[in-house]
Every structure is written in C-alpha cells, then in structure tokens.
Amino acid sequence: MVGRRFRFLRKLGLPGHGHRYEVLERDEEEALVDEQLGQKAMDKEKAVPALPPKEACKCHNADLARALCVDLDNGLSEFAVAQRRLVHGWNEFIADNTEPVWKKYLDQFKNPLILLLLGSALVSVLTKEYEDAISIAMAVLIVVTVAFVQEYRSEKSLEELTKLVPPECNCIRDGKLQRMLARNLVPGDVVALSIGDRIPADIRLTEVTDLLVDESSFTGEAEPCSKTDAPLADSGGLSTLNNIVFMGTLVQCGKGQGVVIGTGEKSQFGEVFRMMQAEETPKTPLQKSMDKLGKQLTLFSFGIIGLLMLLGWAQGKPLLSMFTIGVSLAVAAIPEGLPIVVTVTLVLGVLRMAKKRVMVKKLPIVETLGCCNVICSDKTGTLTANEMTVTQLVTSDGLLAEVSGVGYNGTGTVRLLPTKEALKEFANVSVGRLVEAGCVANNAALGENRVMGQPTEGALLALAMKMDLGHVKDLYIRREEIPFSSEQKWMAVRCSLKSEDGDDVYFMKGAFEEVIRCCGLYNHGGISLPLTPQQKAFWLQEEKRMGSLGLRVLALASGPELGRLTFLGLAGIIDPPRPGVKEAIQLLSAAGVAVKMVTGDALETALAIGRNIGLCDGQLQAMSGEEVEGAEQGALAAHLEQVSVFYRTSPKHKVKIIKALQESGAVVAMTGDGVNDAVALKSADIGIAMGQTGTDVSKEAADMVLVDDDFSAIMDAVEEGKGIFHNIKNFVRFQLSTSISALSLIALSTVCDLPSPLNAMQILWVNIIMDGPPAQSLGVEPVDRDTLGQPPRSVQDTILSRGLVLRVLMSAAIIISGTLFIFWKEIPEDKASTPRTTTMTFTCFVFFDLFNALSCRSQTKLISELGFLRNHMFVYSVLGSVLGQLAVIYVPPLQKVFQTEGLGALDLLLLTGLASSVFIFSELLKLCERRCTQAKALPCREEMRLTRRPQP
C-alpha cells in the first residue's frame, strides 16, 4: 500500500452496466478541492450582511472586522467585492415610480378640451354625421399624440439632468488606497475620509482625527457634529450615534477612516430618497410666469369663444357646428404647450451645456446666467491650473535653492544657488530639514503622476522624492493632527520617531505671517538661534519677492511646542494660469461681465496672477480681507466696483463681498472648489464649483459644476443662458401671434355674420403646427455668435416686453388682413361656405404661419445673417408642415376629413406671395430698427471722441 495515494471517485457506473469507477488525476483532484473551497469562500462573502447603525455603533473594531469579514488595514479583495455586490447590488438609488408609457398616453385624454371634442364626435355619431365624427376623432388623435410626444420628451430630458458628475471616494482595497466611484462600494469596504468629502455610504468610524461632519441634510441640525471612533455603550436616536457617519452628509473638518455598514437602499438615506421621489421638482420663475400667462390667455380665450358661440347661435347657425368650432378654437388658441416648450427649451439648453462639460444642477440658474454681470472667482484651481510644483526654497539661514521638474513625481533636481550643487537627503542640513517638515506635515498620497489629497501637499511630497526623502514620513508615528482651517491658515502634526523614545516634535506649515507667530527660534545650519527683527524682515522681504513672481509661498517650522517652534524657511510653489483663462476674461469683460479674483494668497502673489490673466487690463486695485471686514456694508458696496483683486480673504470676507455686490444691484456668480468656498457659493446668485479639484461640500453648495475645472466654460454657459432666453422669446412671439390671429379670424367672421373661414378640423391642424415641430424648433435655434457681446439683461426684464408685444400684434394684424382678403376674394355672392373657399383660406393661414415662424427665428438679425439652413430642425419641420398641408389638399381621404379640394399652381403661387408679406415686413422692421439704433449711437461716439481729444 506504500506509495499508493488516496483517490476520489468521480463517476459511478449506471445500474445494469456494472460498477465501473474512474479515478481522478492529481491536477483534477486539486481543481475539485479548489472549486469546493472557492464555493465556500463565495458563500461566506455572500452571507456578509449590512449592519444596522444601532448595532454597529456598539462594536469594537475587532468585532466589526469579524462581523464584516474584512482586514481594516488592507480592505477587501476584488473577489470579495464581486461576491458581495451580487447580494447587495450597487451603492445607488433607482427610482421605481415611473408609469408605463401607455398610461401616460391615455392620460392625455383627460384634458377637458379633448373630452369636449370627443363629446362633439359622439353627438355627430348620434346625429348620423359619421364623416364629421371620424374627422374629429382623427384630429383628436393627432393633437393628443403631439402633446404626448412633447411631455415625454420633456420628462426624458429632465431625467438626463440627474446624471451629473458621479460622486467619488477614497477606498482601501487589496492594501492600496484607490480613488473610485462611490457606486462601487459594498458593505465591508474600508473608506478614507478627508475634509470636504461627501460621505459615500453609511460608515462605522474606526479612526478619527478632529472629525466634524455636517449632518444638516440628514438631521436638520445646523451645527456640525463631532465624531469619535470609540464604541458606544448604548444606542439612542440616529443623531446620537457619534461613531457613525451617514450617506449624503459632509466632512467639514478633520479626517477619518471607517468600514461601510450600509449601501444604497439599505442606508439610512434610502428613506430620505424615497421621500424625495414623492416630491415634485419646483418650477422655475420663468415656468411660473409662463403658467400665469397661459392661464390669463386661457380665460381671455374662453371669454371670446363663449361670446362667439352665443353670437353664432343667435344668428341661427347650427348649435353643434358652433360648439365643435368653439371647442376646436379653444384647443388651438389656448397655448397649453407654452409651459412645456419652455421646460424643453431650458432642459435642452442644459444638456447642450453638459456637452461643453458644464453641469447645471438647478434649472432656474439657466435663466439667471443671462443676467450675470459680476463673477467672483477663487484663484487656486479655477483661474490657475492647480498643478502645484515647488520651484524655489529659501532656508531660514538665507540659503537659496531652485527646484526643477514638474508633475507629481520624483523627476527633477534640487540645486543650491549659486553653486548649482545637486542636493540629496540631508547633504545640506538646512534644506533637508525644510523638505522634511513639508513631507511629514502632509496628508496627501502620490500615485501614477496624480495626487490624492491637496495639490499643495502633493507638491511637497514630490519635492521630498526629488531629494530622496520620500521615506522620511514613515520614520515618524503621528500622535496628533491640528487640521488646516481658512481662519488659522496653518496645519500641524505632533509626531515621534519610531526608532527612539524621545520627546514628541511638532511640524507646521502655513502662511508666513501665521507660522512666524508660533516661532521663537530659527534654524542656522542645524542649530536653533533666537529670532531677531532683522531676520523676520529678511524673510518677509523674501516672501514678497517670491509672491511677486506669482509663487504661492508656504512657511515651515518644527519644534517641541507650538509656541516655541524653530522657523525652517519658505517654499515657493508655482500654479500656472489655466489655458484659455486670459481670453475668457477679455471676452467676458467685453460683454459687460466684471471678473474679480478672491484669494487667500498674499498681495504680491495675487497681483502677479491678476496681471498674468489680464484682469482689468493689468490696471489692478486690490483690497485685503481685513479691509473688507472693517468697512461698512454701504461704503463697501460703492468701493467694490473699482476693486478687481481681493487677497488674504476668509470665508466670511467672501460672503460679505458677495452681499455688498448684490446690494449694489449686481447679479453675482461665485466660483470655488474648497470647503471654505461653500458658504460663498450658497450666498451667490450662481454658485459654480469645480468638478475635478472641487470638494463634495463645494459641489453640494453650488448650482453649477465645471466638470473639467475650465474657467472658460463659464463663458459658454453665460452665452447659452442668453441664447435660451432669446429662443423662448421667439417661441412666445410665434405662439401668441398665431393664437391671436386664429381667434380674431373667427371672431370677425362671426361678428360680420359670415360663415366660418376655417372648419373644426382645419383649426386643429393649425394647432398642431402652432404646438408641434415648427414651434418646437424655435426653442433649439443655435446660439447667435453675437449674443455673448450683448450686455447682461436686467433681472426685471420680462418675456413679454413692450417691443415683443408690438411685434406680436404687428404679425397678427398682417396674418388676419391677408387671410381675410383671401376669404373675401373667394367667398361666393350668396356668402355660402364652399370647399374652395375654406381650402384657400386654410392654406393661406398655414402659409402665413410658416412664414411667421421664419421671421420669429430672431428678433434683431436678418435671415441672411442667420442662414436658412443653420437650424436643421426648423428646416425639416417646415418642410414636413408644407408636405402635410399639400397632403391635406390633394390626398382624397384627407380631403374628406378636412373638407378641402385641390388647388392650382397659380393659387399656390398667390398664397405663397401673399403669406411671405409677414416675413418681408418683419425683415424691413429689423432693418429700420438697426438704422435708428446706429443713428442714435453716432452722436454719442462723436461726443466721446471729442472728450478724449487732448486740449491745446
């Protein structure tokens, strides 16, 4: 038996065929064992539950790790994540409240006017007027289909708006810190949290450093909640669980680490999400004004239509015929599509912005963009690239070093000046200690030429790598951290060496004027000497010199106590202006939008960057945060117009600047990316956050997100906002002129005791054109290139301006006059309505409508300047309408429905020539207005030229 190995039986012989067995080979045996073990591992991972917060809060770290089967240091493996996702799904919410499409379609028939038309069709059946009944039913079907397509398109467009920049998080998997989408998280994942992060799931904290979390979106409490990593003895309400952070809340201060205990629908935010689904999205001010306008026009139309029906009945006309015409006229004249098209136009504009990498979170902002006349922009990461690189070092004992190489890697060299000696490690003690402090007082991590954390800290890590000091951080054990805040302007860590039992040492970095206050000594070749006023003056001069070169200057220090630190020197970090920023500022300034830079940097740095990006053509006036704080609100508002650079500002200074500008009547946009910008973003009329470098806190507070952090994209957004408003005005002009024309045409014929120029089916066909593709296409007219050059419009400006009302009435008067002329020309002497009379009148009205739509494409530009083919949707919709009209005239089945007859070529030429008069008159009016504007502007220009001429 020696040497024989135990074998597994794989196959048993079938009954009746003898008992034959087949043995497994070694590799097959191992594969079977692996398969069995793998199945056990899969079952184990799938059995890991999501822990309720009230249970997780009582667990110690070891118990928590055991319950969720996770190593708290290395995180989950990809295998474990894949198995758990099969059970728990993605960390996201799916709205499951959508009605079926067929139900939405049938809901269109609940419209009272549609029900009245169907009632009219039913009466026609009862009176054996079957042709009329079929005609009305077909027309209703077409009208309902057009309305359904409009609303369905609007809903689908709004759904697209929810797909904004997806939230991300820092997660430890397979022992590596990774940046990933929050939707990838599963229960048991280890997540690292830092200042500005949005909590990606329900998390039980295992490590905490001064962690403050804003839970106002969850609990309603305005004050941030202090968090701990200690287990709780007893669990009260959710707001008392201080070692749990909940999905959707925001890290205001400090950092932490924890284990995911609940994702998606199983998180506490799941209940909030379900409540959110029940709430309808509030309407924008423009939508509300369109609703109000629509209701006013509806009441007016109903009043007119009611009088017409009574008058027609009194004149002895058939009651059913007058009822059908009245209801059809109501369907056509009442602009029920007005709010829908406004919504579609706004949403399509937002989606166009999304293609330009600008995400709009709130629909009303689209309206506000065209009114914006001041942009207050944060410097770092917005006007500048936020790709930090240390380029200069000044040690506390006066040594100067230059640093080469760019990017978040160790490529480059640190050279001592003027000798150009390359420095490594502690070859020069003063430079080495300066670099060491920047590396140890640091929370960033580098990987694949990108930084996870603050770019400034990434630049200091890259500097340490260039001097082969990247490992120095691992020599220390961090005992405490005092995180950076915009008020104190510094951060510090308390550490001790791993290899020694010596005293703890503090490392600090921050703004020079703040760091120097904590120092009583300075380093001179490794020896600490008392600070002198002369030394302080020298370093202050060096800081100003570096700032004037556009460098961001950080001071570094170390020592046993915060009040007795040793000053180590200065590091100059360059952050170059973003490509395209200078050109964008020039274009915005030309369009009447003032750009102001608001930064926490020193005066010299702020002015250098301001000149580089062309603020105020280099003629800069600056104001410090302290000056802003000391100024009275009224006096500040008057002074701010001349100031283009604000330096050494804190969050409260930014808010005060915005409030003062708003008091002066400005519509203010604020850009920012940090936690310190959140309050200002919320206070501004338009808050704009950065998509890549922006914290989740800033994105939450903002109304818009620049996905690529590209400042020049703001210019595109402002241009789009102006264009959308113009398109809505064009659409409103078209709809109102058509409604007034249709109402007036029937009213005049009824008052004059004439037969109706249009029958019910023809009126409904006009409604399809008025609410259908030709009207919709006006809402997607491409933005005029000259739009950006126009000054921002006033917030008080309404859609129905005096000029627009006059244009509407002018177009309506021409359409009514031309159509009545054709009606008068074609009506027989006995005033009886014939198919030819209604066909000519009907076709004339439709052609007038299409030429009117062509003239409504722009309020100021001629069609030759716009281009006939620029708006492809308009071209296709007009061609479709013309072909549809010809089908109504010439296709026999449709002739019966619409009671029409074929027209000759000369008839069509006559109608086309007459209908074009509304377009020609509109173009001539634009030309006259332009000449008048130029004539008024000429004396002003001459006066300006004379005032600029030098006096003898």
The catalytic residues are 378
**In this structure, are residues 707 and 752 in contact, taking their beta carbons and an 8 Å threshold?**
no
Phi-psi region of 128 (alpha: psi -120 to 50; beta: other; left: phi over 0): left
Closest CA to 748 of 200, 232, 329: 329
Per the omega criterion (within 30 degrees of 0), is the bond before 200 cis?
Answer: no
Sign of CA dihedral 689, 694, 699, 700: negative
Closest CA to 193 of 172, 170, 212: 170
Grouping H, G, I as helix, E, B as strand and the rest as coil, residue 832 is coil
813: exposed, middle or buried (Cβ count in 10 Å: 0-12, 13-18, 19+): middle
CA distances from 347 to 269, 777, 820, 941 (A): 27, 14, 39, 41
Phi, psi for 906 (deg, rounded to 5): -65, -35
Strands 551-559 and 374-378: unpaired
Please tell me the distance from the alpha carbon of residue 622 to that of residue 625, in angstroms, as a whole number. 10
Task: Please state, as a whole number, how many other Cβ atoms lie within 10 Å of the Cβ of residue 797.
Answer: 12
Rounded CA-CA distance 701/216 in Å is 13
Q: Which of 668, 659, 669 is nearest to 629 (CA)?
A: 659
Q: Where are the beta strands (DSSP E) in 587-655?
A: 594-598, 622-624, 645-647
Q: Which residues pair with 452 in a beta bridge?
A: 445
φ, ψ for residue 636, nearest 5 deg:
-65, -45
Pairing of strands 450-452, 225-226: unpaired
CA separation for the pair 174, 372 (Å, rounded): 49
Strands of the sheet containing 704-706, edge to edge, are 358-360, 704-706, 686-690, 668-672, 374-378, 594-598, 645-647, 622-624
Cβ burial of 236 (10 Å; 0-12, 13-18, 19+) is exposed
Name the token pair of 480.
Answer: 């405490």
Residues 88-107: b if buried by 16+ CB within 10 A, e if exposed: beebbbeeeeeeeeeeebee
Return d(Cα 761, Cα 846) in angstroms, integer: 13
Which of these, 584, 481, 547, lies nearest to 257 by C-alpha position? Answer: 481
Tell me the C-alpha distance between 746 and 317, whole Å: 14
933, burial (CB in 10 Å: exposed 0-12, middle 13-18, buried 19+): exposed
Q: In the chain, helix, strand, coil percent, each to 5?
A: 50, 15, 30
CA–CA separation, 128 vs 68, rounded Å?
76
Q: Report the SS3 class of residue 378.
A: strand
Residues contacting 788, CB < 8 A, separation 6+: 587, 591, 715, 718, 719, 722
8 A C-beta contact, residue 397 and residue 405: no
Backbone conformation region of residue 207, classed left if phi is above 0, alpha if psi is from -120 to 50, else beta: beta
Angle at 408 between CA 402 and CA 412, to 5 degrees: 35
